[in-house]
Amino acid sequence: MPTNLTKQGLPRPVDDTWRSYVEEWDRSLRAANRPHTTRYNYELAVTQLADFLGGSELPEFLAKMDMSPDDDSDAAEDPTDVGRKHVEWFIAWMIDSRSASTALNKYKGVQQFFNYLLECEEIDRHPMEKLSQPNTPDKLVPVVSDDELTRLLATCRGKGYRDRRDLAIIRLFLDTGARLTEVANLKVQDVDLRRDGILVHGKGDRQRFIPFGEHTGQAISRYLRTRSRHAAADLPYLFLAERGREQLKPNGIKIMIRRRGNAAGIPHMHAHRLRHTLSHVWQREQGNESDLMAIMGWRSPEMLRRYGASAAAERAENTHRTLNLGNRV
Protein backbone atom coordinates (compact mmCIF):
# COMPACT_ATOMS: atom_id res chain seq x y z
CA MET A 1 0.00 0.00 0.00
CA PRO A 2 1.22 3.52 -0.75
CA THR A 3 2.30 5.68 2.16
CA ASN A 4 0.89 8.88 0.64
CA LEU A 5 -2.87 9.19 0.24
CA THR A 6 -5.05 12.19 -0.56
CA LYS A 7 -8.09 13.09 1.53
CA GLN A 8 -10.12 11.13 -1.03
CA GLY A 9 -7.92 8.08 -0.39
CA LEU A 10 -6.08 8.23 -3.72
CA PRO A 11 -2.41 7.16 -3.79
CA ARG A 12 0.36 9.61 -4.54
CA PRO A 13 4.10 9.09 -5.22
CA VAL A 14 6.69 10.19 -2.71
CA ASP A 15 8.61 12.24 -5.29
CA ASP A 16 7.15 15.73 -5.80
CA THR A 17 7.56 15.78 -9.60
CA TRP A 18 5.92 12.40 -10.04
CA ARG A 19 3.16 13.53 -7.69
CA SER A 20 2.45 16.67 -9.71
CA TYR A 21 2.08 14.66 -12.92
CA VAL A 22 -0.25 12.14 -11.25
CA GLU A 23 -2.41 14.95 -9.83
CA GLU A 24 -2.62 16.56 -13.26
CA TRP A 25 -3.61 13.19 -14.74
CA ASP A 26 -6.23 12.71 -12.04
CA ARG A 27 -7.82 15.99 -13.07
CA SER A 28 -8.14 14.61 -16.59
CA LEU A 29 -9.63 11.34 -15.30
CA ARG A 30 -12.20 13.27 -13.27
CA ALA A 31 -13.12 15.34 -16.32
CA ALA A 32 -13.66 12.08 -18.23
CA ASN A 33 -16.00 10.95 -15.40
CA ARG A 34 -13.86 7.94 -14.57
CA PRO A 35 -15.11 6.15 -11.41
CA HIS A 36 -13.21 6.54 -8.16
CA THR A 37 -12.21 2.86 -8.23
CA THR A 38 -10.70 3.21 -11.71
CA ARG A 39 -8.80 6.33 -10.69
CA TYR A 40 -7.54 4.57 -7.57
CA ASN A 41 -6.31 1.48 -9.45
CA TYR A 42 -4.65 3.50 -12.21
CA GLU A 43 -2.97 5.92 -9.83
CA LEU A 44 -1.90 3.13 -7.48
CA ALA A 45 -0.06 1.45 -10.36
CA VAL A 46 1.79 4.66 -11.27
CA THR A 47 2.53 5.45 -7.63
CA GLN A 48 4.01 1.98 -7.19
CA LEU A 49 6.13 2.45 -10.34
CA ALA A 50 7.43 5.81 -9.11
CA ASP A 51 8.22 4.53 -5.61
CA PHE A 52 9.80 1.38 -7.04
CA LEU A 53 12.16 3.41 -9.22
CA GLY A 54 13.07 5.73 -6.37
CA GLY A 55 13.18 3.21 -3.54
CA SER A 56 15.26 0.30 -2.36
CA GLU A 57 13.21 -2.37 -4.13
CA LEU A 58 14.78 -1.73 -7.56
CA PRO A 59 18.46 -2.35 -6.69
CA GLU A 60 17.46 -5.30 -4.48
CA PHE A 61 15.39 -6.84 -7.26
CA LEU A 62 18.06 -6.32 -9.91
CA ALA A 63 20.66 -7.93 -7.63
CA LYS A 64 18.32 -10.86 -7.00
CA MET A 65 17.79 -11.34 -10.75
CA ASP A 66 21.51 -10.86 -11.43
CA MET A 67 20.67 -7.97 -13.75
CA SER A 68 22.76 -4.89 -14.44
CA PRO A 69 21.65 -1.80 -12.48
CA ASP A 70 23.24 0.50 -15.06
CA ASP A 71 20.94 3.50 -15.40
CA ASP A 72 21.96 7.12 -15.93
CA SER A 73 18.40 8.44 -16.38
CA ASP A 74 16.36 10.63 -14.05
CA ALA A 75 13.36 8.28 -14.15
CA ALA A 76 13.13 8.15 -10.35
CA GLU A 77 12.58 11.93 -10.26
CA ASP A 78 10.77 12.55 -13.56
CA PRO A 79 8.25 10.30 -15.38
CA THR A 80 9.12 11.89 -18.72
CA ASP A 81 12.52 10.21 -18.45
CA VAL A 82 11.09 6.71 -18.04
CA GLY A 83 12.19 4.25 -20.69
CA ARG A 84 11.13 0.77 -21.67
CA LYS A 85 13.61 -0.92 -19.35
CA HIS A 86 12.17 0.87 -16.30
CA VAL A 87 8.68 -0.45 -17.04
CA GLU A 88 10.08 -3.91 -17.77
CA TRP A 89 11.87 -3.94 -14.42
CA PHE A 90 8.69 -2.87 -12.66
CA ILE A 91 6.47 -5.47 -14.36
CA ALA A 92 9.04 -8.22 -13.73
CA TRP A 93 9.20 -7.18 -10.06
CA MET A 94 5.40 -7.31 -9.82
CA ILE A 95 5.36 -10.82 -11.28
CA ASP A 96 8.08 -11.90 -8.86
CA SER A 97 6.66 -10.27 -5.74
CA ARG A 98 2.91 -10.51 -6.47
CA SER A 99 1.51 -12.42 -9.44
CA ALA A 100 1.17 -12.30 -13.20
CA SER A 101 -2.45 -11.16 -12.95
CA THR A 102 -1.47 -8.30 -10.62
CA ALA A 103 1.35 -7.36 -12.98
CA LEU A 104 -1.16 -7.22 -15.85
CA ASN A 105 -3.35 -4.78 -13.92
CA LYS A 106 -0.32 -2.59 -13.20
CA TYR A 107 0.71 -2.76 -16.86
CA LYS A 108 -2.69 -1.39 -17.90
CA GLY A 109 -2.64 1.42 -15.35
CA VAL A 110 0.88 2.53 -16.24
CA GLN A 111 0.03 2.32 -19.94
CA GLN A 112 -2.89 4.71 -19.46
CA PHE A 113 -0.64 7.18 -17.64
CA PHE A 114 1.91 7.31 -20.44
CA ASN A 115 -0.89 7.49 -23.01
CA TYR A 116 -1.92 10.69 -21.25
CA LEU A 117 1.62 12.09 -21.24
CA LEU A 118 1.96 11.30 -24.95
CA GLU A 119 -1.35 12.96 -25.81
CA CYS A 120 -0.31 16.06 -23.84
CA GLU A 121 3.05 16.08 -25.66
CA GLU A 122 4.95 15.76 -22.40
CA ILE A 123 6.84 12.85 -23.99
CA ASP A 124 7.79 12.24 -27.62
CA ARG A 125 7.61 8.47 -27.52
CA HIS A 126 5.64 5.98 -25.45
CA PRO A 127 8.04 3.99 -23.23
CA MET A 128 5.79 0.92 -23.54
CA GLU A 129 5.69 0.94 -27.33
CA LYS A 130 5.88 -2.68 -28.55
CA LEU A 131 6.10 -3.88 -24.95
CA SER A 132 3.87 -6.94 -24.67
CA GLN A 133 1.61 -7.27 -21.68
CA PRO A 134 2.43 -10.11 -19.29
CA ASN A 135 0.79 -13.46 -19.98
CA THR A 136 -1.55 -14.66 -17.28
CA PRO A 137 -2.69 -18.25 -16.78
CA ASP A 138 -6.40 -18.94 -17.13
CA LYS A 139 -7.52 -19.87 -13.63
CA LEU A 140 -11.03 -20.82 -12.65
CA VAL A 141 -12.26 -18.57 -9.85
CA PRO A 142 -13.45 -20.97 -7.12
CA VAL A 143 -17.17 -20.81 -6.48
CA VAL A 144 -18.68 -21.27 -3.04
CA SER A 145 -20.52 -24.55 -2.51
CA ASP A 146 -23.89 -24.78 -0.78
CA ASP A 147 -22.23 -26.43 2.21
CA GLU A 148 -19.68 -23.61 2.46
CA LEU A 149 -22.44 -21.01 2.16
CA THR A 150 -24.36 -22.68 4.98
CA ARG A 151 -21.29 -22.59 7.20
CA LEU A 152 -20.52 -18.98 6.24
CA LEU A 153 -24.03 -17.78 7.04
CA ALA A 154 -23.98 -19.74 10.30
CA THR A 155 -21.14 -17.55 11.57
CA CYS A 156 -23.58 -14.62 11.55
CA ARG A 157 -26.10 -16.16 13.94
CA GLY A 158 -26.98 -13.64 16.59
CA LYS A 159 -29.13 -10.60 17.24
CA GLY A 160 -26.38 -8.05 17.75
CA TYR A 161 -25.56 -5.24 15.35
CA ARG A 162 -22.46 -6.84 13.82
CA ASP A 163 -24.07 -10.23 13.18
CA ARG A 164 -27.16 -8.77 11.56
CA ARG A 165 -25.13 -6.32 9.48
CA ASP A 166 -22.73 -9.00 8.26
CA LEU A 167 -25.54 -11.42 7.42
CA ALA A 168 -27.28 -8.74 5.34
CA ILE A 169 -24.04 -7.93 3.50
CA ILE A 170 -23.18 -11.55 2.69
CA ARG A 171 -26.71 -12.33 1.53
CA LEU A 172 -26.72 -9.21 -0.66
CA PHE A 173 -23.50 -10.28 -2.39
CA LEU A 174 -24.83 -13.80 -2.90
CA ASP A 175 -28.29 -12.76 -4.10
CA THR A 176 -27.45 -9.73 -6.26
CA GLY A 177 -23.90 -10.31 -7.51
CA ALA A 178 -23.14 -6.66 -6.79
CA ARG A 179 -19.54 -5.45 -6.72
CA LEU A 180 -17.71 -4.74 -3.48
CA THR A 181 -17.77 -0.95 -3.89
CA GLU A 182 -21.40 -1.03 -5.01
CA VAL A 183 -22.47 -2.70 -1.77
CA ALA A 184 -20.19 -0.53 0.38
CA ASN A 185 -21.62 2.66 -1.15
CA LEU A 186 -25.28 1.70 -0.84
CA LYS A 187 -27.44 4.23 0.97
CA VAL A 188 -30.54 3.54 2.98
CA GLN A 189 -32.65 5.16 0.25
CA ASP A 190 -31.27 2.67 -2.28
CA VAL A 191 -33.09 -0.22 -0.58
CA ASP A 192 -36.65 -0.86 -1.75
CA LEU A 193 -38.32 -3.41 0.54
CA ARG A 194 -41.63 -3.09 -1.32
CA ARG A 195 -40.06 -4.32 -4.54
CA ASP A 196 -37.37 -6.35 -2.75
CA GLY A 197 -34.37 -4.90 -4.53
CA ILE A 198 -31.52 -2.40 -4.41
CA LEU A 199 -30.53 0.44 -6.69
CA VAL A 200 -26.77 0.23 -7.23
CA HIS A 201 -24.51 2.86 -8.72
CA GLY A 202 -22.00 1.02 -10.88
CA LYS A 203 -18.98 1.97 -12.92
CA GLY A 204 -19.31 5.32 -14.65
CA ASP A 205 -22.22 6.06 -12.26
CA ARG A 206 -24.46 3.74 -14.30
CA GLN A 207 -27.46 2.71 -12.21
CA ARG A 208 -29.26 -0.62 -12.20
CA PHE A 209 -31.97 -2.13 -10.03
CA ILE A 210 -31.25 -5.66 -8.76
CA PRO A 211 -33.97 -7.73 -7.08
CA PHE A 212 -33.29 -10.03 -4.13
CA GLY A 213 -35.11 -12.94 -2.53
CA GLU A 214 -37.09 -13.40 0.64
CA HIS A 215 -34.17 -14.49 2.82
CA THR A 216 -32.14 -11.45 1.83
CA GLY A 217 -35.11 -9.15 2.37
CA GLN A 218 -35.61 -10.62 5.82
CA ALA A 219 -31.92 -10.15 6.68
CA ILE A 220 -32.02 -6.51 5.54
CA SER A 221 -35.23 -5.78 7.46
CA ARG A 222 -33.76 -7.18 10.66
CA TYR A 223 -30.54 -5.27 10.10
CA LEU A 224 -32.40 -1.98 9.54
CA ARG A 225 -34.23 -2.37 12.85
CA THR A 226 -30.91 -2.88 14.62
CA ARG A 227 -29.30 -0.07 12.63
CA SER A 228 -31.99 2.36 13.83
CA ARG A 229 -30.43 2.16 17.31
CA HIS A 230 -26.89 2.82 16.04
CA ALA A 231 -25.18 6.04 17.14
CA ALA A 232 -24.74 6.99 13.47
CA ALA A 233 -28.23 6.01 12.32
CA ASP A 234 -28.71 9.47 10.78
CA LEU A 235 -25.91 8.88 8.25
CA PRO A 236 -27.09 8.09 4.71
CA TYR A 237 -24.92 5.00 4.19
CA LEU A 238 -26.68 1.66 4.59
CA PHE A 239 -23.81 -0.19 6.22
CA LEU A 240 -22.04 1.45 9.13
CA ALA A 241 -18.93 0.59 11.10
CA GLU A 242 -19.72 -1.12 14.40
CA ARG A 243 -18.32 1.80 16.39
CA GLY A 244 -18.04 5.49 15.65
CA ARG A 245 -19.85 7.57 13.10
CA GLU A 246 -18.63 6.33 9.77
CA GLN A 247 -19.50 4.21 6.78
CA LEU A 248 -18.29 0.60 6.60
CA LYS A 249 -15.87 1.03 3.71
CA PRO A 250 -14.85 -1.56 1.10
CA ASN A 251 -11.70 -2.56 2.98
CA GLY A 252 -13.76 -3.08 6.13
CA ILE A 253 -16.09 -5.40 4.21
CA LYS A 254 -13.09 -7.28 2.82
CA ILE A 255 -11.74 -7.85 6.33
CA MET A 256 -15.17 -8.91 7.61
CA ILE A 257 -15.74 -11.48 4.85
CA ARG A 258 -12.24 -12.92 5.24
CA ARG A 259 -12.77 -13.20 9.01
CA ARG A 260 -16.17 -14.86 8.56
CA GLY A 261 -14.67 -17.21 5.98
CA ASN A 262 -11.89 -18.25 8.33
CA ALA A 263 -14.44 -18.89 11.08
CA ALA A 264 -16.39 -21.09 8.67
CA GLY A 265 -13.29 -22.99 7.57
CA ILE A 266 -13.24 -21.34 4.12
CA PRO A 267 -9.78 -19.85 3.51
CA HIS A 268 -9.26 -16.95 1.09
CA MET A 269 -12.92 -15.94 1.21
CA HIS A 270 -13.72 -12.65 -0.51
CA ALA A 271 -16.72 -10.82 -1.96
CA HIS A 272 -15.79 -11.56 -5.56
CA ARG A 273 -16.25 -15.28 -4.96
CA LEU A 274 -19.88 -14.63 -4.04
CA ARG A 275 -20.36 -12.52 -7.18
CA HIS A 276 -18.75 -15.26 -9.23
CA THR A 277 -20.93 -17.91 -7.58
CA LEU A 278 -24.12 -16.15 -8.70
CA SER A 279 -22.82 -15.97 -12.27
CA HIS A 280 -21.70 -19.61 -12.13
CA VAL A 281 -25.10 -20.92 -10.99
CA TRP A 282 -26.96 -18.67 -13.46
CA GLN A 283 -24.97 -19.94 -16.43
CA ARG A 284 -24.93 -23.52 -15.20
CA GLU A 285 -28.74 -23.42 -15.14
CA GLN A 286 -28.64 -21.86 -18.62
CA GLY A 287 -30.25 -18.59 -17.63
CA ASN A 288 -30.59 -15.83 -20.22
CA GLU A 289 -27.17 -14.26 -20.89
CA SER A 290 -28.51 -10.78 -21.64
CA ASP A 291 -30.37 -10.78 -18.33
CA LEU A 292 -27.19 -11.83 -16.51
CA MET A 293 -25.26 -8.98 -18.14
CA ALA A 294 -27.92 -6.53 -16.92
CA ILE A 295 -27.85 -7.90 -13.37
CA MET A 296 -24.05 -7.92 -13.16
CA GLY A 297 -23.58 -4.51 -14.79
CA TRP A 298 -21.50 -5.84 -17.70
CA ARG A 299 -21.27 -4.07 -21.03
CA SER A 300 -18.96 -6.54 -22.77
CA PRO A 301 -19.99 -10.13 -23.66
CA GLU A 302 -16.36 -11.07 -22.92
CA MET A 303 -17.29 -11.03 -19.24
CA LEU A 304 -19.77 -13.84 -19.88
CA ARG A 305 -16.95 -16.04 -21.14
CA ARG A 306 -14.63 -15.12 -18.29
CA TYR A 307 -17.20 -15.66 -15.56
CA GLY A 308 -18.78 -18.62 -17.33
CA ALA A 309 -15.61 -20.71 -17.56
CA SER A 310 -16.26 -22.56 -14.30
CA ALA A 311 -19.89 -23.24 -15.22
CA ALA A 312 -18.81 -24.51 -18.65
CA ALA A 313 -16.28 -26.82 -17.01
CA GLU A 314 -18.94 -28.18 -14.63
CA ARG A 315 -21.40 -28.74 -17.49
CA ALA A 316 -18.71 -30.53 -19.49
CA GLU A 317 -17.87 -32.74 -16.52
CA ASN A 318 -21.52 -33.62 -15.96
CA THR A 319 -22.02 -34.39 -19.65
CA HIS A 320 -18.93 -36.56 -19.68
CA ARG A 321 -20.18 -38.54 -16.70
CA THR A 322 -23.67 -38.90 -18.22
CA LEU A 323 -22.35 -40.14 -21.56
CA ASN A 324 -20.03 -42.58 -19.77
CA LEU A 325 -18.05 -43.02 -22.97
CA GLY A 326 -15.31 -45.06 -21.32
CA ASN A 327 -17.76 -47.91 -20.68
CA ARG A 328 -19.24 -48.07 -24.20
CA VAL A 329 -17.36 -51.28 -25.03
Q: For 251-280, what is each residue's pLDDT tens digit?
A: 999 999 999 999 999 998 999 999 989 988
Categorize the per-residue pLDDT at 191 as very low, low, confident or very high, splitting at 50, 70 and 90: very high
Q: With respect to residue 327, please indicate whether it lies within any of the assigned structural domains.
A: no
More confident residue, 313 or 16: 16
More confident residue, 164 or 139: 164
Together in a domain, 115 and 152:
no
Residue-level pLDDT at 3: 60
Residue-level pLDDT at 1: 45
Together in a domain, 172 and 65:
no
Together in a domain, 170 and 312:
yes
Together in a domain, 43 and 182:
no
Together in a domain, 194 and 296:
yes
Q: With respect to residue 31, please indicate whether it lies within any of the assigned structural domains.
A: yes
Check: CB of residue 169 under 8 Å from CB of residue 256.
yes
Question: The domain spanning residue 273 has which CATH number?
Answer: 1.10.443.10
Together in a domain, 191 and 314:
yes
The boundaries of the domain holding residue 110 are 4-119
Categorize the per-residue pLDDT at 329 as very low, low, confident or very high, splitting at 50, 70 and 90: low
The mean of the pLDDT values for the chain is 90
Residue-level pLDDT at 307: 76
Q: Which DSSP string do the residues of 156-177 spell out, in sequence order?
A: T-SSSHHHHHHHHHHHHHHHH-
Check: CB of residue 163 under 8 Å from CB of residue 293.
no
pLDDT at 328 over 60: no
Residue-level pLDDT at 279: 87
Total number of domains constituting the chain: 2
Rounded average pLDDT over 109-114: 98
Q: Burial, 241: exposed, middle or buried (Cβ in 10 Å; 0-12, 13-18, 19+)? A: middle
Residue-level pLDDT at 246: 93
